[in-house]
Amino acid sequence: MRLRLRDAACAVWMVCGLVAAAPMCGQAVEHAPALPRPDDRYKADVLLMVAHPDDDTGVLNYITRASLDEGKRVAVIFTTRGNSGGNAIGMEQGKAMSDEREMEARRSLALSGITNVWFLHGTDTATQDVLHSLETLGHGEALEETVRLIRLTRPEVVLTWMPGYVVGENHGDHQASGVVATEAFDLAGDPTKFAEQMDAPRRYFDINNYGEGLHPWQPKKLYYVSDASHQAFLEHHGPKYLASDVSRTKGVPYATLNKAAWDQYATQTDPELDYYVHMPDYLILAKSYVRSTTEADVWDGITPGPIAYRSAPGYQPPTRSGVSLELGGPWAFYREFQEAHGVLSVLRFVAPQAALSSYRDLWVPLLLHNDTDEARDLTLQATLPDGWTPAAKDTVYHVEAHATYPAQMFLKAPAEKASDKDAPPQRLRWSIAGAGGSSGEVTLAVTLEYNGVPQ
């Protein structure tokens, strides 16, 4: 009998343990509160990341269509507040004008039904060099904030300026926004990147917490838009959206809506405004993690819900031997950046190119590589079209073993002619000779039209 009573007690204890491992038998069970869901007020279908208040006008045909006619939730990140642009209507400059331009942007975007807008802390930097713009933007801080906003807004599509050097406005800030957006697209789904953003707060309903309570998020598509002056070469790399198409909800062409949106940017009024409001939007499909064809609509293949994180290829040290030559500065950066982020093959159609800086000056950085085991004297040879100064001459550079010499050319174009605007690009070439032979040649196609932004 004692054995049976003991066995029964053990059975009861085991049942209690199965029902609730921690509490003693008969102890009350408390149910944990349900976790709050991510804040749906800020969920975005499309996240546009550009540099300056008014850059959104470069893709108005699409974002207005998506927001007003397709019911998509569009959000916008500006990397700057436009503190050094010109002012077409008043004396305000600097911080005062950036306050004006921020209000202009919010009012303009509101006409397209877009109200979720964020501004980062970069300064408007008049340059064509993406590396200079990344420096003044505060590259790391901007990347952290962009990853945070992607995790907050959970966009299906990220749309941004093309990270590449083109003939056009070619503002370095435009390029920098595309660089940071591409990096954030590739990092936001990685839980080891900016992990503090995903730390669960200890008491999320109370004050003085740390941990942001976000979750990793992998967007499904990445598109680029370009400010190239010759837009036709962008065609067939993604979908095209026309200003002549009629808005279903407004009953007027998108060009009419574009004009109303542009009018809000009074400080930035352009004498060629009519040209811009009628331009088509050429989008470039950089990445798609859903089944979709290149020229299909942005929303093709996208279904609701998260997808698994996809890692970018990552940087790989170049494999070189002997002596070699390449363009340096932003051109060298983009070769490595585009390969590391898996968009090099997409952007191969963008050949090395440039337009003139102020006073028809041109800066050309070159990298002379010596990957041999001995120091070498390398002769840089230039082949320039007629009229460029200083005249081409051979220059000898002493380059140590397994080292790189960053040479820089400062050239002036021939006197300006009326035909320059429509003339084909001029091709400037450099090659190196050393150790008894030649190795490598670089060509830069230069359009003889002033870009409007200093190099």
Contact 420, 448 (CB under 8 A): yes
Per the structure block, which two tokens stand in for 281? Answer: 């939007």
Would you place residue 234 in the very low, low, confident or very high pLDDT band (cuts 50, 70, 90)?
A: very high
DSSP element (H, E) containing 368: strand 361-371
Residue whose structure tokens are 């002549």: 244
Condensed to tens digits (0 to 9), the pLDDT of residues 240-287 reads 999 999 999 999 999 999 999 999 999 998 767 788 899 999 999 999
Close Cβ partners of 37 (under 8 Å, ≥ 6 residues apart)? none
Strands 74-80 and 116-122: parallel
Q: Which pLDDT value is given to residue 229?
A: 86
How high is the pLDDT of residue 91?
93
* Ranges 13-22, 126-135, 281-290, 319-328: which has the least confidence: 13-22
249: Cβ–Cβ under 8 A, 6 or more apart, which residues?
68, 69
**How many Cα atoms sit within 13 Å of 162 on the Cβ side?**
30
What kind and span of H or E run contains 355? strand 353-356
pLDDT of residue 36: 86
Q: Determine contact, residues 232/38, Cβ cutoff 8 Å.
A: no
What pLDDT is attached to residue 204? 77
Residue 9: predicted pLDDT = 47
User: Is the predicted pLDDT of residue 114 greater than 80, yes or no?
Assistant: yes
- Is the domain spanning 322-450 CATH 2.60.40.10? The answer is yes
Q: Where are the beta strands (DSSP E) in 141-216?
A: 157-161
Exposed/middle/buried for residue 156 (C-beta within 10 Å: 0-12, 13-18, 19+): buried
What is the arithmetic mean of pLDDT over 190-205?
91
Ranked by mean pLDDT, the top range of 283-292, 351-360, 412-421 is 283-292
Q: Examine the pLDDT at 157 and tell me if it is beyond 60.
A: yes
Burial 327-344 (b: 16+ CB within 10 A, else e): bbbbbbbbeebbbbbbbe
The pLDDT assigned to 455 comes to 80
Domain ranges for the chain: 40-288, 322-450
**Is residue 255 within 8 Å of residue 277, measured between CB atoms?**
yes
Query: In the CATH scheme, what architecture does the domain 40-288 have?
Result: 3-Layer(aba) Sandwich (3.40)
Q: Is the pLDDT of residue 190 over 90?
A: yes
Q: How confident is the model at residue 19 (pLDDT cuts 50, 70, 90)?
A: very low
The band of 64, judged by pLDDT with boundaries at 50, 70 and 90, is: very high
Widest pairwise Cα distance in the chain: 115
Q: How confident is the model at residue 24 (pLDDT cuts 50, 70, 90)?
A: low
* Per-residue pLDDT, 425: 94
pLDDT of residue 363 exceeding 80, the answer is: yes
What pLDDT score was predicted for residue 4? Answer: 52
Q: What is the pLDDT of residue 289?
A: 98
What does the alpha-carbon distance between residue 252 and residue 257 come to, in Å, rounded to a whole number?
8
Q: Is the pLDDT of residue 452 over 90?
A: no
Look over the chain and give the mean of its residue pLDDT values, rounded to a whole number: 91
Using 50, 70 and 90 to split pLDDT, how confident is the model at 192? very high
Contact 267, 52 (CB under 8 A): no
Query: Buried b / exposed e across 110-147, counting CB within 10 Å, b at 16+?
Result: ebbbbebbbbbebbbbebbbbbbbbebbbbeebbbbbb
211 or 218, greater pLDDT = 218
Percent of the chain with pLDDT over 90: 77
pLDDT reported for residue 10: 45
Given the DSSP bridges, would you call strands 74-80 and 46-50 parallel, antiparallel or unpaired? Answer: parallel
When pLDDT is averaged across residues 38-55 and rounded to a whole number, the result is: 96
What pLDDT, on the 0 to 100 scale, is given for residue 201?
87
